[in-house]
Structure 1
Amino acid sequence: MSLISLFLLPWLLPSSSSTFIDPGALFGCSEWENVFYPFGIRSEHSTLHEPYSGFDLYCNSSTNSSLKVLIGGSLIDVVEISLKGGYLSVLVDHAIRFGSCSRTSDRTPKGNLLDLRGTPYAFHTRNKFTVLGCDAMATVRDPLNGDILSGCVAFCVSYADKQRGQSHCSGVGCCQDVFPPRHQYATVELHSIRNLTKSMELRTNLSEGCNEAFLMDGNESSYADPSIKRPIVLDWSIGNKSCKDVPSPICGPNASCYNSSDGLGYRCKCNDGYEGNPYLDLQFAEIDQCKYHEHNCSWKCQSKGGRYHCACPPGTKGDGKKDGVGCTRDTYIEIGLGTGLALLVILLTIGFWFFCELKKRKQRKLKLKNFLQNGGLLLRQYVSENQFFARIFTIEELERATDNFNEKNVVGRGGYGTVYRGTLLPDGEVVAIKKSKFVDETQIEQFINEVVILSKITHRNVVKLLGCCLETHVPLLVYEFISNGTLSQHLHEQKRPTSGRLSWETRLRIAAETARALAFLHCKAASVPVVHRDVKSANILLDENCTAKVSDFGASRLIPMNQTHVTTLVQGTIGYLDPEYFQTSQLTEKSDVYSFGVVLLELLTTEKPLSFSRVGTVRNMASHFLECMEEKDSRVGVLEFLDRQLVWEARTALPVLAVAQLARRCLNWNGEDRPTMTEVAIELSALRRLAMQSEEWRDRRSSMSPRRLDAVDESMLNEEDRLLL
């Protein structure tokens, strides 16, 4: 086959066809006769010149092997080529593995994705970064600056979970994340979550198989078999510059240049009215006779079949020529059009009215169905018995309050849902509306019971539940609006909601207020103890006076009076999660105590609980803190660990060390050795009172003359004053 015939063949194909093979099977060389330029086939019998570096395809016609492309010094099987979509699908095996199948003892294996540097290819956004395994966390990093490009975590409680995770990728046994555009190279790190949380031993039923991280086509679902090669999608483009940076793009005469959305360079496309390969110097477009030839049409000239004819405006008739009959009015057509238009307007009006009525009826049925499924009858029973002290909202009220849940009203996103800022009409009350991502239909009765209990809780340090809406697929909860952001924002973000950093006195007060709120939830003040299960700085809101407000009870659970714990699926935030709860799945009140201990460390260090920018055990702040406390001179080690600015503000290290010792007791691995939240709240309140009295005594002492200070009657001093003297 000649070179010209090879380039002309794609023009004979429909322009919408850009896929050559079934992605489920590799074709031999004989099936790859038609290849779009700038791609070209090279074999031992072909001397096709290289149009552009990296677009040569290789084929051994003697063995009729599959078509391959040369990337990174290796020939890789080609599955699909798309000219219109601008992508290339290939088969690769670049998985990073460890576990019982690993050949190395390294607990954090590292590897590289397919190296595309020096080629016209980049990773397509259709790819998904996938992790298979149990308790595995993988991240993809940019090797130049170390930024995390993608990553996810796969959890398992048992080996059966790992087997179930092979049928669908939902986070149990398998997880996936999107991959950003315009990247040609990246490194992969695969971690063991149990190693990060310092688990004492790995369960034997989880050690079967191995953990695996890889990149694959997001349209594929064959990720469960680790022995096969997986397809990935590559974006191809010309060069690595945009259209405006290239003096003369290689596009054909009736084509235009456009920048690749996922790649690094540009591609070509045919102009409107033309079709074919935009990279070739050929054109098969019809010539516009009206544009290039003189005509005598009085209104409009139209080209058709290589000829032209004159058209008349609607409502007129004739030949449309200036030197002929021209165009004259057609009264019959005008009468028919007027009558038809009137009937059409009447029919459309009636049809639109019927459509609106049917839509309203369908919406009413759907709202009633959701209301019943979400436990509306049970909630009405509580209302009739005066056990529900909140308001039941309609979906229309909340849609008006949030401008139909406009994105501009989003004030927070979390693992359990999205929080919107809304203004209730007509009183103008500002509220926070939480829209959950999912709800367990088997736990509706427990959900309603928790909503009723939370509606009864009135505490100055707990965000007040104002009501709920059950007319949507997922129930909506309405809380009071706290305007000053979260504790996490104040501690870790550069642009904080308030000016300046939180002082030592403010941090100690926030810790004491949060402890009082959790102690209140754990006690029987709300008739049934409530375990928050997701205590973290992001769930502690601050008002304009920096008063702490515990929020987000989406993961909370009730513990019956006659039980010490409940067995649940492990939920929470890595870095705050109780290791005992993580291993046993038994949730107790002491799980909140551990998470609160991590919050205390955040207040003492102004550092995040888990950060991959730190190395070794320092990544996990709780583990690093416990190591410092176990040193011979633990006081020196802890002082090096804490925020020195806080020690300076406290004027002495004693109160800061006292809070650190309290955090150490809260972070005991054994829940029985941890204090209760009531004990924590009492101790923090005592430390805060002592700090306030010490500050008052220092101010009093500084105002006395030396002689007067010596004359102070010691019997007039309280216990804290004597300690200071």
Structure 2
Amino acid sequence: MKLFHPYLYLLISLSITSISVSKYAKTGCNDTCGNNVTIPYPFGIGADCSVNPWYIVDCNSSRPYLSALNHLEILRVDLHNQTIIVSTPRISDCQNPVEKTSQLMSIDLDRTPFLFCSYHNRFVFDGCGNAVMMENGSALTGCSTSCLSENVTEINNYCFGFSCCQTTVPHFLKLYSINIAGLGRDGGCAYAFLLDEDSYLKQTFSVQSVAANNAYVPMSLMWTFPHNATLSCCRGASDHMNMELDTGNGTFVESQKCSRHIGYKGNPYLYDGCEVIEDCASCPDSSCNYDIIYGGDGSSTKVTNFTCRPNVSPTGFGSKSSMGVILGVSLSVGVLFLIANIYALYKWIKKVKERRQRKRFFKRNGGLLLKQQEEADPSLVGKTILFTSHELEKATDNFNENRILGRGGQGTVYKGMLVDGRIVAIKKSKVVDESQLEQFINEVVILSQVNHRNVVKLFGCCLETDVPSLVSEFIPNGTLYDRLHKGIDGSPISLNMRLQIATEVSGALAYLHSATSIPIYHRDIKTTNILLDEKYRAKVSDFGTSRFVSVEQTHLTTLVKGTFGYLDPEYFQSSQFTEKSDVYSFGVVLVELLTRERPISQTRFGEHRSLATHFMLAMEEGRAMSIFDAMVIKEGTRDELLVVASLAMRCLNLNGRYRPTMKEVATELEAIRMSHIPSTVQTNTGPMTYEKNQSFTTYTETSSKMLSLNDSFSQ
């Protein structure tokens, strides 16, 4: 329980410090007119200070007037009784005939929110005769006086029937008239009027002063609010109630009322208008009792002897109800605080687990290997951008199936868009195979070093997911393989375009072999790894099996890796990969471009199953024209085709020493492409023969090697 004492002291302190001067008008508005009249809300001095135009008060010469009711002067506003006391002219009959009858009308309150209050007004008649209050021609109430020849002094100014009488009003009124029947005493006048009961009972008004001074009469009006009106009653310190005011004949006027709770003072019609009575401020929750003394006539009251509720003292905390409230609030706050802490702890634990998982994935996916490579070669530091898993999920719509560009042996490629608007291809590896992690990291390292227009640009990678991913530029027109063998877009590839693709690929390989700081062998050149951009420019991709080679090295001794149909037979037999092995693979690509045949045929058999062997046999037998693509024959001249075919034969030489370098290949192809003039007329379609070059090993000398390799492919 000691834990809750600070909260109790805090609540009491707030209650005590809340004691201030009572507020009656809206903020920024005056609440008095002159020295004696308080104008509380919903009334207000000025249009912006009242609840609506009916309650606007004009303050002229320090005297308040109700502008909506013929500028009646306001004497007092009673919030507790919901009445306003106004000064109204009395109704009189001042004619000389001995017997006379007159009828006079009151103020018309129809279509206003005000009523003549029945239980706060008295109907008073001063004079000789009788007076009747009428409503719509029917008598409501009235009284008669007895007039003696001698003067009778009214005791304490009250009317007891001698020259003055008073009675109650049966219900609320909107309009009334008074019928006076005077007896005429010494030519005097008779007066009839409604008189505010509080003024009458407290003797603050003299009945005789009306006749003597031609004075106005204080009268009480009830103000009303419809049930659907919105009142700004102060919360926690007032009661809001709906009332029905009887206007006679079974009709009622709806109204609302706000009244203060015991122990509060101020204006209950304002949100912040109630303050704790000073005597109750020391009691917890301002809960107090007090004695009420009623006047002898039951109308006036006096509040005395404020005391705190039973079992509660200004310094004690024994009230079960207040302790229950405080305990409930404290427990609620404690539970909310506990839930907030638990949620914060859950989020923190989740972040820690995710961070540890990302570190574990980073390590498993080759992150340490990447760092080792960067440590070994400082030039690699900062060149590889590491993307987060969240960035890639957002770019690919959580790797949606509709974003898949293709599937390969090493993974799936998705199309995505980064937050900066770049369209990218995201290669997501298959289930992690630790034996292939080196290939993946190798591709990252190599591509981060390469900057060539015909090599796919690497943007970065992601290593913190369950499987690693590569992020590279998006190449829109697919692979060269699809264009050649699947008829993508349905348009044939011209000879000029084929020569351009061959020139660009050879130039990219020449750059990798000789222009980089450390030579790079691709080791898997094939048409599926050659992409075409929007202008059909070639882009070499997929460096998973590529290797750096130091300047001193002439070859790499590795496990044989590559693709059947493109694999260098010399490398296959010796496991020694040289730059000439890439040249052989490119030679197969060049033959594909010339023949539009697949590297391994499903329709040819035996030694002709391999495209390289099939091409070399056709060249040996002088029937190369029979295997060339019709588009090539249609657009190229015999000399052009002979030169390209001769270059392909040199690239396919089974002895790597006699193959040209990629730089030489690129130079020759560039010369051929520049000299090519597209033509639709073929002037020479005769058989094309191939003359053996002394630097070539003849087919008959190496046929046994090729056949053995073909057998391996078949197996």
Bigger-Rg structure (1/2): 2
The alignment's TM-score, normalised by the length of structure 2, stands at 0.45
Q: Could you state the TM-score of these two structures normalised by the residue count of structure 1?
A: 0.44
